[in-house]
Structure 1
């Protein structure tokens, strides 16, 4: 008698296997999107605010942050280079972490050259002084990152020379300055990277107080790379009309459409890790713009649910 053919393996796949396959396919698709597509989808985030004195002409501010530039990132460089014509800013604010490689300045020169002659303000992030190092991304969920023991050096002095002498920008690391922007007096103060504890807030505030005739300022701007609460509180108390920061990358990987980042790599509330919000301290509330930035570490080349960006803020007169 001939045995009946075996039906082993011919039945429907188990629900567990189907589910595992779907999860694997979803994960693979997300990785392809985040690594191969979204990190190249540069965006312009626009806001309008009434902050200027009555009768003043509108002021357009271009906020750049966290380019983390490597020399081979030509598409990012060309996209940034087109911003000057697209936005036509009156003022550029750069909140640091420009360099992502020891030769990153090559790309920064190509990207920022069209901004030459436009008034600018900048502060440093850690990757303007030391190169990036490989990190375990899961450790960001346990709190702000610690600092690697060894990292390649960065030619900060040459970068600063390019910013100050070729572009005409002003370094605000732990100091303050006055700039004429479109006929308006802008007083600005800032700090070096608070994430590395390189900030000296008392020095910055003392420099602000030394500016002549502070009451004549049409606008006062506070600038920091990392938006730690202690910095935002002190800057608010010191009389800033608006605050600018970067560092967070907007979380870099987010749940799509969620109002909160998964991580911020500092102690800012997660729903304020990207975009324009309000910061309140001691019964004073002012606008805070945190840029999600233009780049990523070369060791974590991904963006998901968080496109790379620049911010454009149009300031208009009150009333």
Structure 2
């Protein structure tokens, strides 16, 4: 009941209040809830030669680990129970100078499971505060000298303790469940550390490949030049990260920015990359972390992917 003479609130003030309330609710969700809603995507792609046995690949990316992020560490560690045949780690593991402590806690459970990895820039340099609006003007660029991280210690942990193989601008043959799998990869293309010209020789150095030996490409940043080159090199599937799936997405629309030149509709999840007459599966992980300076996820849950590669019905 209105008191005589009292005036109702101006409609503009009511609208402003409603917008503010919605914004506050979104911030609470994105900062306090969704960034902890870790999920595993289970997908399947036909990529292998006819008659080949399936390969179950756990694709992990963009942990951006800080030592205090115990929920993320516990979740990553629990993924070993999925018993993948192969782990592919597409970089940006570190998010703090002491992030390796959290990485150890997260990945110790994977010791003995074959794995490969490539670097993202946050395996080399520490994070720094940035204006998130700049991402709308194009891929981010370095504006100040960042803190150097202990990349050598991270690599030694992966290779010497877990038994994983580095694929930074090189190739390797890995035994996966008794089957040879050939893989090649590049260092972070976002920093122009990729050396695509080195890959043909690296692949050739592996020696003769059986007709049924899979060939997989691994990159941190899925720039089109990298995806096209991988397709030309005969990759049967490609794995990338870096985009965070947009990290803050618009419900009903999806990814707003990818921080590279990949089409937004392919900035997360499983899709098909086509180039020069070939089409291959492309899986871009939305990642499971975020910069400590941008602790938010909205309409883009932190994730890992269990991707089962299966045989095609007919030859490629």
TM class, shorter-length: over 0.9
Task: Name the CA distance, whole Å, in 2 between partners of 1:79 and 1:23.
Answer: 35
8 Å CA contact 2:43–2:306 kept in 1: the answer is yes
Task: Name the CA distance, whole Å, in 2 between partners of 1:35 and 1:136.
Answer: 17
Task: Name the CA distance, whole Å, in 1 between partners of 2:252 and 2:201.
Answer: 42
Task: Name the CA distance, whole Å, in 2 between partners of 1:132 and 1:224.
Answer: 20
1:167 match: 162
8 Å CA contact 2:49–2:212 kept in 1: the answer is no
8 Å CA contact 1:80–1:112 kept in 2: the answer is yes
2:43 match: 47
Within the candidate set 19, 27, 30, 1:34 is matched to 30
Task: Name the CA distance, whole Å, in 1 between partners of 2:247 and 2:290.
Answer: 8
Task: Name the CA distance, whole Å, in 2 between partners of 1:193 and 1:142.
Answer: 20
8 Å CA contact 2:64–2:94 kept in 1: the answer is yes
1:268 match: 262
Within the candidate set 68, 72, 77, 2:68 is matched to 72
Helix, strand or coil: the match of 1:306? coil
Within-5 A mapping of 1:87-126: 87-126=82-121
Say how many residue pairs are matched: 311
2:311 match: 317
Task: Name the CA distance, whole Å, in 1 between partners of 2:215 and 2:252.
Answer: 33
Task: Name the CA distance, whole Å, in 1 between partners of 2:271 and 2:45.
Answer: 11
Q: Is the counterpart of residue 17 in structure 1 residue 13 in structure 2?
A: yes
Q: TM-score, normalised by structure 1?
A: 0.95
Task: Name the CA distance, whole Å, in 2 between partners of 1:33 and 1:315.
Answer: 35
Within-5 A mapping of 1:180-219: 180-216=175-211, 218-219=213-214
8 Å CA contact 1:189–1:205 kept in 2: the answer is no
8 Å CA contact 1:97–1:247 kept in 2: the answer is yes
Within the candidate set 43, 57, 77, 1:81 is matched to 77
Following TM superposition, by how much is the alpha carbon of 1:12 offset from its aligned partner in structure 2, in angstroms? 1.7
Note the residue ranges of structure 1 that are not aligned, 5 or more in a row. Answer: none
8 Å CA contact 2:48–2:212 kept in 1: the answer is no
Q: Which string of whole-angstrom CA distances, capped at 9 and with x for unpartnered residues, describes residues 101-143 of structure 1?
A: 0000000000000011111010000000010011000000000
Following TM superposition, by how much is the alpha carbon of 1:311 offset from its aligned partner in structure 2, in angstroms? 0.6
Task: Name the CA distance, whole Å, in 1 between partners of 2:98 and 2:56.
Answer: 31
2:246 match: 251
Q: TM-score, normalised by structure 2?
A: 0.96
Q: Is the counterpart of residue 300 in structure 1 residue 261 in structure 2?
A: no
Following TM superposition, by how much is the alpha carbon of 1:291 offset from its aligned partner in structure 2, in angstroms? 0.1
8 Å CA contact 1:187–1:217 kept in 2: the answer is no
Following TM superposition, by how much is the alpha carbon of 1:52 offset from its aligned partner in structure 2, in angstroms? 2.8
* Higher CA-based Rg: 1
Following TM superposition, by how much is the alpha carbon of 1:163 offset from its aligned partner in structure 2, in angstroms? 0.2
The worse-fitting range, judged by mean Cα deviation, of 71-80 and 144-153 is: 144-153
Task: Name the CA distance, whole Å, in 1 between partners of 2:282 and 2:312.
Answer: 18
Note the residue ranges of structure 2 that are not aligned, 5 or more in a row. Answer: none
8 Å CA contact 1:133–1:148 kept in 2: the answer is no
2:56 match: 60
1:285 match: 279
